[in-house]
Amino acid sequence: MTGFSAQEAFDAYEAVRHRLPENKTTEVNYRQAETLEDIAHEFDVFLLDAFGVLNIGDTAIPETPDRVRSLKADGKRVLVVSNAAGFPHASLLEKYARLGYDFAPQDVITSRATLLSELNGQSDLHWGLMATPSAGLRDLEGLKLTYLEDDPNPYETVDGFLMIGSAAWSESRQTMLESALLERPRPVMVGNPDIAAPREYGFSKEPGLFAHRLADRTGVAPQFFGKPFSNIYDLAFQRLGHIDKSRVLMVGDSLHTDVLGAQNVGIDSALISGFGFFAGHDVEAAIKNAEIIPNFVLNRP
Residues 50 and 66 in one domain: yes
In the chain, which stretches have pLDDT less than 50? 1
Identify the pLDDT of residue 2. 58
First to last CA, the chain: 30
Identify the pLDDT of residue 106. 96
Q: Classify residue 171: in a domain, yes or no.
A: yes
Domain count across the chain: 2
Residues 253 and 160 in one domain: no
Identify the pLDDT of residue 287. 95
Residues 107 and 238 in one domain: yes
Angle between helix 207-218 and 6-15 (nearest 10) = 40
Residues 121 and 107 in one domain: no
Residues 63 and 123 in one domain: no
Which of 224, 242, 273 is the last residue in one of the domains? 224
What's the pLDDT tens digit per position in 27-71?
A: 668 999 999 999 999 999 999 999 999 998 889 999 999 999 999
Identify the pLDDT of residue 57. 81
Which of 206, 224, 242 is the last residue in one of the domains? 224
Distance in angstroms (rounded) separating the CA atoms of residues 193 and 54: 19
Residues 123 and 218 in one domain: yes
Q: Which of 74, 65, 69 is nearest to 96 (CA)?
A: 65
Q: Which of 27, 128, 30, 136 is nearest to 87 (CA)?
A: 136
Report residue 4: phi and psi, to 5°: -150, 180
94: domain CATH number is 3.40.50.1000
Residues 22 and 55 in one domain: yes
Residues 276 and 195 in one domain: no
Q: Classify residue 94: in a domain, yes or no.
A: yes
Q: Classify residue 185: in a domain, yes or no.
A: yes
Q: Classify residue 75: in a domain, yes or no.
A: yes
Q: Classify residue 179: in a domain, yes or no.
A: yes
- DSSP readout, 175-238? HHHHHHHHHS---EEES---SEEEETTEEEE-HHHHHHHHHHHH----EE-STTSHHHHHHHHH
Domain extent for 247? 6-113+227-298
Residues 18 and 62 in one domain: yes
Residues 88 and 234 in one domain: yes
Identify the pLDDT of residue 122. 67
Q: Which of 187, 170, 177 is nearest to 214 (CA)?
A: 177
Which of 181, 203, 224 is the last residue in one of the domains? 224
Please say whether the beta carbons of 226 and 191 come within 8 A: yes
Which burial class, exposed, middle or buried, applies to 132 when counting CB atoms under 10 A from its CB (0-12, 13-18, 19+)? middle
